[in-house]
Structure 1
Amino acid sequence: MVCIPCIVIPVLLWVYKRFLEPIIYPLISPIMNKFWTKKAVQETGMNDQKSNGTCKPERNNEVTANGSTIAADKKTD
């Protein structure tokens, strides 16, 4: 047996996305743009290293030109 919120919540979300959001979004979007003017994702991390996009830095600070992983910690037989 399925609980009532497991049925009601998806149905309400579908009704909102399908019918209410196209009406409400144009009204609230100018207000939201005033508060959220920054971009959501910003580049952080390697401040001292510049990347030209050809090399990927690995976790152990080893860089490979073709993007393959250098497994220095694996045991060999």
Structure 2
Amino acid sequence: IAGPEGGLPGKPVGTVFVGVAFAAPWGSGDSYARVERFEYDGSRTQVKERIARGALALLREEIETESVTTG
């Protein structure tokens, strides 16, 4: 919810859920998904920028973790 309006009880303006998924080879059991909830303050533009930065940081973290575990 980027705002400036539209917040709900339990989901204030600035609330976003970001998900990252990895599809491993079929049958390997190594596929996974991760979802994180974030809440950002600021103007609509600031919230959108923070969402983008947060999503990219989460993706980078998952890529780095995956590259460490797979060699």
Q: TM-score range by the shorter chain?
A: under 0.3
Q: Which has the larger radius of gyration?
A: 1
TM-score (norm 1): 0.23
Higher relative contact order (CA 8 A, sep 6+): 2
What is the TM-score when the length of structure 2 is the normalising length? Answer: 0.24
Higher strand proportion: 2
